[in-house]
Structure 1
Amino acid sequence: MSQSAPGGAPKVPTPVPGAPTPGTPAPGVPPKPGTALAAVPPVGAAPSAADAAETQRRLLRGVLDIEVPLVAALCERNMTLEDVRNLTTGSVIEFSRSYDEPLDLLIGDVRIGSGEPVTVHEKFGLRVQSIGSVRERIRKLGGA
């Protein structure tokens, strides 16, 4: 017969601190094969090689989806603020780069390659003539 608490409700047993929950094996006893607990790795267990590889693949996919500013730089030069202040419509600024030199291909301010200007469907494009290896580009951008 089950005991009832005052008011007629069945009495729920109070768990004893440190005692195993019903259906849970005692500490040091492996779970039975085929049970849900058998599929759960023990707390603090190292992830399997397959899990670690999948985590790395997910992280890499996330990183490769990041958009970065890609710049085809014509050329640059330094000017004093006074010279910039004196620029007017029609002013000509001379640069040290020859008009037929390849343009620099940059991510942010990091040069990763160079190429020649082309038109693509009435828009400006760049035909890559040289580019560093993937490892070199990652190193330049601050990777390993």
Structure 2
Amino acid sequence: MDPKFSLPKATRRIIVAARTSPEKRASGITLFAVESVTSGFSWGRKPDKVGQDQSDTAKLFSDNVRVMDAEVLGEVESGFIHMMQQLPQERLSAASSNVAHAKQILLETIEYANPKGIRISHRISPAQQVSARPSHHPDRSC
């Protein structure tokens, strides 16, 4: 099965959500913390991607991976509930990180498009794409 995600190849443990009782649908999912070197896991090639070329990511494939009782996270067949309980915190963490990155990119863009032209040999701010005033942001003054 072709995975829809990639992970850093340095990843040592993977949280696997597995259907341990398929007839129970969402109630039949169990979480496992599995070592990435477990028999049945194999790494694919580094994917072609835009940005973050330096990150060491690759697709992780699984084929007949066997897990042990000691690798169960939380309670058996409560994996879906565990994931839903953590989802708000994960979304908040991702949103916070994304806002911080967007703020930094905005500040760097404003500095680059500075009409004083201090950092570059010619001014780019008169160009139509950057001459319009960026929307108001409380952390800067234009």
Same fold (TM over 0.5): no
Relative to its length, the structure with more helix (as a share) is 2
TM superposition score normalised by structure 1: 0.27
Please tell me whether Structure 1 or Structure 2 has the larger radius of gyration of its CA atoms.
1
Q: Greater RCO between the two (CA within 8 Å, min separation 6)?
A: 2
TM superposition score normalised by structure 2: 0.27
